[in-house]
Structure 1
Amino acid sequence: MGWRLIIKAGANLPEIIPGSRIENIQDYHRHRYKQGIPEGVKDLPPGVALPLESNLAYMNGVSFTKGCYIGQELTARTHHMGVIRKRLVPVQFSVPLPRESIPEGAEILTETGKAAGKFRAGGDELGIALLRLANINGPLCLNVAGDKVKLTASIPEWWPKTASK
């Protein structure tokens, strides 16, 4: 999925991690949007984002065998029942959009105008959105400043193969 490393200015990155290269923060975010990887409170709003909908179990971010945490009972029950109707997925816009033009939590609609999910983060031509799995393969759009912008969602290659069913 990639790495993010914070080092002292002037440090020799290839010495620390052979074969690595320095990129800017926008490249890092583009990479994680392509992969559908959430990061921080914008992508995972406190009190709103659920661990399984955010794919945290796929990334070993949730343990079903140890520990105690708020929401553990609901998360474990949902995991074992196998009913997760929405997931955080990568999306690609039909036209590049400035980050500031997309309101946080903007509603994503189906072709018929039915609610399909919520935009979480992104800009330019990539982002991540919480979408109903039933709507992932259909035509979708996002209302931005009164205009409908088409977008397509995809299932990341790193997901377990049984997850997309």
Structure 2
Amino acid sequence: MLVRAVTAPGLRRLCRARRGSAPVCFPLHRALLGVRGAEAAALLQGLLTNDVTQLAAGGAPPALYAHALNVQGRCLYDVILYRLHESTGEEPHILLECDSSVLESLQKHLKLYKIRRKVDISPCPELSLWAVIPGEQAGDTSSSLPKCAGQAVLLTPDPRTEVMGWRLITKKGENPSEILPGSEVGNIQDYHRHRYKQGIPEGVKDLPPGVALPLESNLAYMNGISFTKGCYIGQELTARTHHVGVIRKRLLPVCLAAPLPTAGIPEGAEILTESGKPAGKFRAGGGELGIALLRLAHMNEPLCLSVGGEQVKLSANTPQWWPKTAAK
């Protein structure tokens, strides 16, 4: 395994903005699938929304965000790809991060299209995945990516947006605080609250397989799609929607007037305007924060959803990290 850390201008800006805070490491309940072999990039290129060739070629940060779509252009799996080979002269070795509940189905999906390609596809249970987010407590940080004092497999900026910090891959059982001095292990619920606040979907609850559409899920805003790479499964509908330029619904962060009940909110619960018009669907949340698919025409209106027979008010907002040209 490689031991690498990668810097990026965006992360330097993030650290300068949050100087005086120590990073917090969150253990992710996500799985890693290894794809290795001479034709690994070619296989993934035809199945994912992003341009895998730019990752495989080296030079750029070794992480890439993408979705695997079905033939109707709906999301099956949200993945982050990590390049473990350092140069084009080495055998391509790519890790795919996915929701742990779909690891087996993603592996079957890749093998279905592998045909006779020279590719080995296997899970990596010997590795652990962490999200590293600048924390609020006092501490010393540098103005660049934290230095690894221990043996990390990979430390790289999260490719979706700089507000999500970094991704850290370690060997199973290793303590991240020994790799990143001054860091501490955080509660995973705090990580999800951070995601919801920023409107970042992750996993099958936020992106229901066969239901979520990539552009409604802000894939283009999260650097997860290439509109010039050529054909891939599900490309036709996605490209047509992009060129027409009409996206009426988007995933947005929402804030509830009261914390979510212990039982939670049923998946896909309908969100209404005060006048009773359908405004969207609630996807997931924690505490008073959540993420929902909303009609942009209603996002600035007072909204509500029914929880246990009671109406709970909520409001939506546009994340600050979105492009300035994004719909308001």
Calculate the TM-score normalised by the size of structure 2: 0.47
For 2:249, which of 60, 67, 86 is the aligned residue? 86
Q: Which moved more, 1:124-133 or 1:95-104?
A: 95-104
Partner of 2:290 in structure 1? 127
Q: 1:92 to 1:53 in 2, by over 3 A?
A: same
SS at match of 1:117: strand
Cα distance per residue 1:1-31 (max 9 Å; x no partner): 2245454445243x53466442111011000
Residue deviations 1:13-60 (CA, integer Å, cap 9, x gap): 3x5346644211101100000000001111111111000000011111
SS in 2 for 1:101: coil
Counterpart in the other structure of 2:322: 159
Kept in 2: contact 1:101–1:145 (CA 8 A):
no
Change (3 A) 1:114 1:69: same
Query: 1:42 aligns to what SS in structure 2?
Result: coil
CA distance in 2, matches of 1:37, 1:19: 26
Mapped contact 1:98–1:123 kept (Cα < 8 A): no
Q: Is the 8 A contact 2:205 2:283 kept in 1?
A: yes
Which residue does 2:213 correspond to in 1?
A: 50
Distance 1:21 1:73 in 2: 45
**% same residue:** 77
**Contact 2:176-2:183 at 8 Å conserved across structures:** no
Other structure's SS at 1:108 match: strand
1:69 paired with 2:232, answer yes
Supply the distance in 2 between the matched residues of 1:126 and 1:4 (Cα, whole angstroms): 23
> Counterpart in 2 of 1:139?
302
1-side partners of 2:167 and 2:187: how far apart? 10
- Comparing 102-111 with 64-73, greater Cα deviation is found at 64-73
More strand by share: 2
1:90 and 1:98 map into 2 onto residues whose CA distance is: 18
Q: 1:35 to 1:18 in 2, by over 3 A?
A: farther
1:60 maps to a residue whose letter is N
Q: Offset of 1:68 from its aligned partner?
A: 3.1
Q: Distance in 2 between matches of 1:18 and 1:136?
A: 42
- Equivalent of residue 111 in structure 1, options 274, 281, 284: 274
Kept in 2: contact 1:99–1:124 (CA 8 A)? no
Contact 2:189 2:286 in 1 (8 A): no
The one-letter code matched in structure 2 to 1:137 is N
Equivalent AA in structure 2 for residue 163 of structure 1: A
Matched with 2:175 is: 11
Letter paired with 1:37: I
- The reply to whether residue 148 of structure 1 matches residue 311 of structure 2 is yes
Query: Relative to structure 1, is the Cα distance of residues 12 and 85 closer, same or farther in structure 2, using a 3 angstrom cutoff?
Result: closer
| CA offset digits 1:114-162 (Å, max 9, x no partner) | 0000000012100000000011111000111110000000000111111
Distance 1:18 1:63 in 2: 37
1:110–1:141: 8 Å Cα contact kept in structure 2?
yes
Q: Equivalents in 1 of 2:219, 2:180: separation in Å?
A: 26
| SS of equivalent residue, structure 2 residue 321 | coil
Do residues 95 (structure 1) and 269 (structure 2) align? no
What are structure 2's unaligned runs of at least 5 residues? 1-162
> Over aligned residue pairs, what C-alpha RMSD do you find?
1.8
